[in-house]
Each structure stands twice: as structure tokens, then as C-alpha cells.
A and B are shown apart, each in its own frame.
Chain A
Amino acid sequence: MKKFLNEAVDFVDEMLDGIYLAHPQLTFVNDDKRCMVVARRRSGKVGIATGGGSGHLPLFLGYVGEGMLDGAAVGGVFQSPSAEQMNEVTKAIDQGAGVLYVYGNYSGDLINFDMAAELSDLDGIAVRQVVGNDDVASSVVGEEHKRRGVAGIVFVFKAAGAAAAEGLPLDEVTRIADKARARTRTMGVALSSCVVPEIGHATFSIGEDEMEIGMGIHGEPGISRQPLAKADKVVDEMMGRIFAEQPLGQGDEVAVLVNGLGGTAKEELYILFRRVSQLLTERGARVKHVWIGEYATSMEMAGASISILHLDEELDRLIGAPADTPFFSHRNA
């Protein structure tokens, strides 16, 4: 696999150098580039932090900015950052109103964020946690707590970020984040593998004419490997699994995120959305917000995911609120 690299070991830090040079609204604390925070902090606001491995841009650090997150701890490619880095971010973003952690359901992140919360508690900072688990493919109904957090976590960032920007207190921001989490479902499909720079070759092999339904964003195996079907049929299968859990019907309103995994053209994502929209309309559900593009990638993996957030009045308002980060911007319609 061809990549633009100097030395593979410098992949993450040189990526971060580039981001700080391009976006002066972001800075870092504790002399550690991997502890990213917004340069200007608003006093009295609940802080929101995330974190996780590199290799998923714009997830996670790409959502640090106005109306979304206040900080992110950045790990190596597909590796969790440390509890110490998360604790440093926490101390930097706490404005006396406490800090909410929103991150994905992966063992390294769970252990380290949980420890960071304990360390922050010793420092007298109130911390709450919401763990994204939107990936329908990664465990069955009834075992949702085992599910991975994937692209749908962007809805949780958006809703929680808007709630914090409105000045709501920590417990309210946490309640809203948890509601957005509980009402989001994602299904993904992979057409090719990712390549971790320091490893240098494909994480898994998949035939030219095959697809893997439910592939994880680090190359975790999915639900089934099948011959690559036509786009509408692929969406029908993915949406079928989402509708099985979200029986959306007449009068329901949703936000839709069609996400490219890094190696798929935006044109193809719009072909997928076309079918998603048809299926929702057939059921009488209405698409209130839509994002199509790359929001949570897996290096250069070809593939896509579809996330559906079942809105209510409160989530509709917060998802539609303005936000402005280097990788995500949204204005009032």
C-alpha cells in the first residue's frame, strides 16, 4: 500500500503538527501534542472530552471546536491514549462545571477513561461518562453493552456539544448525550482492508468481488462475507438490520449520517443515501438532518456506514444547532 509518510513511527505526531499549524483554534496541554484542547475556553461551561486511537479522522479530534467538544486525547493508530493524557485534557477543559467523557466501547479506551475519571475525581473535578455503542453488527439485541461505538458517536458529540453550549449543567448534558446514544444505530460494510502505517500491509484480506457486512473500524470481522451486490441491495440489507431495532414509521423524524471509511468516493456515498432516503420515505419517516461524507474513517478502508438517529423535539433542536470545528461545521438552516 502506498502512503505519504516520512517515518512510520512519526505518523501520528506529524499529523498532529499539521493540524496545529493549520488550525490555530486548537492547542495542546502538558507539553504533549496528544492532549488536544480548544485554545479559547468558555468559563462556566460543561467541558466535553473524547479520545481514542488515531487513524479515524475526523474522529475523534476533528470534533474539537465551537458547539461540539473541548478536548481530545489522541492515541497511536488504533491505540487508546493513556489515562494520564485524558486526565490532563480533563484538567485543562474543566471550567468548574465538570466534564463529560464521550468515547467508544473499546477495552483500552474503557479502562483508561474510567481511570482518568477516578484521577480527576481525586482532583475534585466532577466527571460523567457516556460510552458510544451504536454498531448493530457487533452484538445482538439484549447485549447492546457489548457493541462497538462507530460513526454514530458523532450524533452524541453534536447533541451533547450543543447542550453544553446552551449552558446546561453536567447532569443534563449527560442525560442528553445518553439519550442520543440510546437512539442511534449504525451498520457498516467494508469492501477493502485498512493498513496500519507501522505494520505496512493489509489488516485482513478480502476478494475483489467480496464485501464484509458489519466490519469493525479496526478491521474486526463482521457478520457475513458475501459477493459484492448492487448498491441498493447492500443498503436494503443494512437498513433491514437497522429497522429491526428502530421500527421507524409514519411521523418519525431522523438524522442520517452516511459515512465513508476513507477509501470510497463521495459519489458512491450519495448513491447509498438515495436508497436510504427511499426506504425511509416508504415507511413515512422524515429525514430532518443529513450528513454525507467522511466522519469516522478506518485509514484507507473502502466501505461505508449508515447511522440513523431517531429524533425527538429536544434532539432535533440540538442536532440542528450551529457548530464550528476544523473538520465539521454546521449553520442554522
Chain B
Amino acid sequence: MDAMSSSDLGALFGAWRTTFAEQRDYLISLDGKVGDSDLGITMAKAFAAAADAVAAVTAIAPISKILITAGAAMAKAAPSTMGTLTATGFMRGGKALEGAGALGVREAALFWRAYGNGIAERGKAKVGDKTILDVIDPIARTLEGTAEAGGRLANALAAAAVAAEEALESTKSMLAQHGKAAAFQEKSVGHQDAGATVGVLMIQTMRDFAISRSDAVRSQADDQAAFGSETSGGSLS
């Protein structure tokens, strides 16, 4: 898959909704180690509200508008700190894609960079503080690198997911600087950051979605080749 269109975004948000509903209890238990245990609830609510809101806007709405709508819905449904930060990420990511007709590698890089900048600004956090930014930054950097080299979206997202997974692992050795976890700085060492886990789940879901769409496109192409479609078959003979 080289790019997602507006109509793909509805399905992507559906996939995110499923992921965060399935991972709700896992996130609750992660957050419960040093936080206040509400992260799984917050994220499940936020992505469910976003999926509903995106489903309600027309499939041909601009990508920018779809993402901003998702963010605004999250802000309303999940007003805790992480809910508001996630909402901010989507709203800023949406603003960064104003005028974009499709979401390719370059646009994905712009989205994740703006997503991270929005959270950094609103949450007054920086890379290394043991937050979601510690995975967003490598995601954005990987996508920016691939965009320059001109890669395919599914491959680029797969590389970004690997970078995010490695970055999540390294949050284990960091000291928490924000939220309730900051009150237990030393205790937070050894645990992967719960917020950063959210970032990894987001990029993994985005990757799986892009790959499944690519497979679907490829099998469609294979079908066409096997049955010898009139246009391509004719010109080859």
C-alpha cells in the first residue's frame, strides 16, 4: 500500500478501536504499577469515540478534517490527561495534513511529527522523560528517513513499528518525570512506560492495517493476472 485515502481512515480508526478495546485490561495493569490505573479505560473510550465520530463524517472529507474530528471527539469522551494529550496529537496531526489528498509515507511522517510536537507542547514533556514521546519520536524519525528515500507506506510503517518497539524497551531504564508515576521515580525503573505502550499499539495497528490492505490489493492483482484481465492481458500478448 502506497497511501491511505480518506475512506481508508474510517477502517483504520475501526482497527484502533478494536486494538484498544482488546488491550484495555493490559494497559490498566501496566498503568497500575505506578500510575492510577485508568489508562486502559481512557484509551478504550477515546478510540471508540474517535471511531464513531470518523464513521459519522463523510468518507470523502479531507484527511485533515477526519483526524481533527477524531481528536475533538477524544477530548470530549476522555478528558483525563492522557486522553487530552492523545486528542491533542490527533488534532495537531490533522492540522499538519491540511490540503493533503492522501496519507502516504511523507504525510505519515508529518502526522507523527506534529502528533509528538503537540503532546510535547501541551504536556510540557520532552524525549527521555519516560512518556509516549519516547516512542513517537523514533516513529517520526523513521518515517522521515523513509520518506526521503521514497519507500512504500506498509514497509515504512513496519520499520517505524520496529523502532517504536525498541524505544519502548528502553523506557524501562528511564526515570518517570510526569504524572503520578513521577512521584514514584525510582519505582518506575524496570517498568516499560504505559503511555509509550499506547504509542507502540497505535503504530503496530497502523502497520497491520496497511499490510492487510496491501495484501488485499496484491491478491486482487493476482486474481486479475490469473484470469487474464482484458486490458493488461491483451497488451502483453
Contacts and interface: CB of A to CB of B under 8 A. Distances in A.
A303 B79 CA distance: 33
Interface string B57-101: 000000000001000100110010100110110010000000000
30 contacts: A82-B79, A83-B75, A83-B79, A83-B84, A84-B75, A84-B76, A84-B79, A107-B81, A107-B124, A108-B81, A110-B122, A110-B124, A111-B81, A111-B84, A111-B85, A111-B122, A111-B123, A112-B79, A112-B84, A115-B75, A115-B84, A115-B87, A115-B88, A115-B122, A118-B88, A118-B91, A119-B72, A119-B75, A122-B68, A122-B72
B75 A114 contact: no
Nearest to A86: B79
Interface in B97-127: 122-124
A116 to B, nearest CB: 9
B20 to A, nearest CB: 20
Contacts of A112: 79, 84
Contacts of B88: 115, 118
Given A112-B84, A115-B75, A118-B88, 9 more contacts: A83-B75, A83-B84, A107-B124, A110-B122, A111-B84, A111-B85, A115-B87, A118-B91, A119-B72
Most chain B beta carbons < 10 A, residue from A110, A112, A115, A122: A115
Contacts of A84: 75-76, 79
Nearest to B179: A107
B122 A114 contact: yes
Instruction: From B68, B72, B124, name the one whose CB has the most chain A CB atoms within 10 angstroms.
Output: B72
Contacts of B124: 107, 110
Contacts of A107: 81, 124
A112 B81 CA distance: 8
A114 B84 CA distance: 10
Contacts of B81: 107-108, 111
A260 B76 CA distance: 36
A83 B77 CA distance: 10
Contacts of B84: 83, 111-112, 115
Nearest to A108: B81
Contacts of A115: 75, 84, 87-88, 122
Interface of A: 82-84, 107-108, 110-112, 114-115, 118-119, 122
Nearest to B77: A84
B58 to A, nearest CB: 18
A301 B11 CA distance: 53
A318 B68 CA distance: 40
A107 B178 CA distance: 10
A83 B75 CA distance: 7
A11 B215 CA distance: 57
Contacts of A108: 81
Contacts of B79: 82-84, 112
Nearest to B87: A115
A194 B75 CA distance: 31
Contacts of B85: 111
Max chain B C-beta neighbours (<10 A), residue from A82, A108, A111, A122: A111
A313 to B, nearest CB: 36
Contacts of A122: 68, 72
Nearest to B80: A82
Nearest to B79: A82
Nearest to A84: B76
Contacts of B87: 115
B39 to A, nearest CB: 15
A112 B80 CA distance: 9
A128 to B, nearest CB: 17
A130 to B, nearest CB: 17
Contacts of B91: 118
A83 B79 CA distance: 7
Interface string B179-223: 000000000000000000000000000000000000000000000
Contacts of A82: 79
Q: Which of A83, A84, A112, A118 has the most B CB atoms < 10 Å from its CB?
A: A118
A224 B87 CA distance: 40
Nearest to B85: A111
A196 to B, nearest CB: 15
A114 B76 CA distance: 14
Closest 6 CB pairs of A and B: A82-B79, A84-B76, A115-B84, A111-B84, A83-B75, A114-B122
A83 B81 CA distance: 10
B70 to A, nearest CB: 13
A62 B81 CA distance: 26
Contacts of B75: 83-84, 115, 119
A122 B88 CA distance: 13
A112 B85 CA distance: 9
A262 to B, nearest CB: 25
Nearest to B81: A111
Contacts of B72: 119, 122
A326 B110 CA distance: 50
Contacts of B76: 84
